[in-house]
Amino acid sequence: MHLPLQLVSVYEKLKQISALGNRILSRTSIINDRYAANRQLAVEMNDKLQESLKYFQFIQDCDNLKEWLDMKTLQAQDATYRDTANIHTKYLHHQKFQAEINSNKERLLSLKQNAEQLKSENYQQIDKNLIDQPQIAELKDSLNESYQDLLELIETRLLSLKTSWKLHKFLHDCKEILLTMEEHTNSVPDEIGRDQQSVQQLLSRDLQLWMNGIIRHMNNSDKPHDVSGVDLLMNNHQSKDLINRQHVRSSEVKEKCIQLSMLRDNVDDTWKERWKYMQLILGVYQLARDAAIAETWLIAPESY
């Protein structure tokens, strides 16, 4: 039985198409295998690149922190103190400096944590030739040592500031005492009373000079600048420290020196007026402080 030529032609084409399909399936399988292999290689390469990025970022962060620590160490070595005002200013700056150092402690802790991650087995299996484990350990130890040295230097500087302040305050107090002694020495009269009347006159003049000094002290230009300053002056006046510091021989001439009694009354009046003034100032400063606290309390909820 002979098939028509047209059917034979179709049959041959079907055989060719079938063979071509098998070749396509074979090639597709090969392509899928190669794609899977290349995809795995790409994932591994991406992991290596990511870990390499973390490693080099760790090195850069270590260098930046080391440079920052070296700069702060140089700043902490400044130990020039001229006077009490200069020391007070340096002490305020030191507090800000110490707060800045403490706020950067998180950088060190983060780098130490990254170092431990880079030293883990997972990182070592990625690329042993890329990640230098001894360098990581050396950088971590170096940063930790530099930070501890800086903290010790800060403590030493704080102790030096306190010691220098005490020294300058002692010298300042000594100068004040010497000036006071010199003033009192210059105010002592050279003449000596020849009789009872002249002695009483000298005592009267001495007591009057003392009273004038007390009045000048009470009328000084010192003004309180805040609530605590007003409280301090009020406590000093409540104790009547100025009035109680009387001359050792004031009782001997009080009866014969009516003008001194008038001056004493004047001192009392001055003290009362100053007391009223300080009460008024205290009220003003307390009102200002309460207003500031209230304003802060009112503004705080707005931030939310």
CATH code for the domain in which residue 168 is found: 1.20.58.60
Neighbours of 59 (CB within 10 A): 15
Share above pLDDT 90 across residues of the chain, in percent, rounded to a whole number: 0
- Residue the block writes with tokens 């000298």: 202
CATH code for the domain in which residue 289 is found: 1.20.58
Does one domain contain both 237 and 167? no
Does one domain contain both 60 and 103? yes
Rounded CA-CA distance 87/229 in Å is 22
Give CA 170 to chain center in angstroms. 27
8-state DSSP, 190:
S
Neighbours of 65 (CB within 10 A): 20
Q: pLDDT tens digits, residue range 187-231?
A: 665 555 555 666 667 667 777 777 776 666 666 555 555 555 555
Does one domain contain both 165 and 18? yes
Determine if residue 240 is left, alpha or beta; phi over 0 gives left, psi from -120 to 50 gives alpha, anything else beta. left
Q: pLDDT tens digits, residue range 173-198?
A: 888 888 877 776 776 655 555 556 66
Does one domain contain both 216 and 168? no
How many domains does the chain contain in total?
Answer: 2
Does one domain contain both 45 and 92? yes
Tell me which of 172, 205, 228 is where a domain ends: 172
Rounded CA-CA distance 179/173 in Å is 10
16 phi, psi to nearest 5 deg: -65, -40
pLDDT, averaged per 10 consecutive residues of the chain (304 residues), comes to 64 78 84 89 84 84 89 77 64 83 86 81 56 80 88 86 81 82 68 60 71 66 54 51 47 51 69 76 77 72 46
Domain residues for the domain of 40 are 5-172
In the prediction, which pLDDT does 241 show? 46
Does one domain contain both 23 and 72? yes
Does one domain contain both 246 and 285? yes
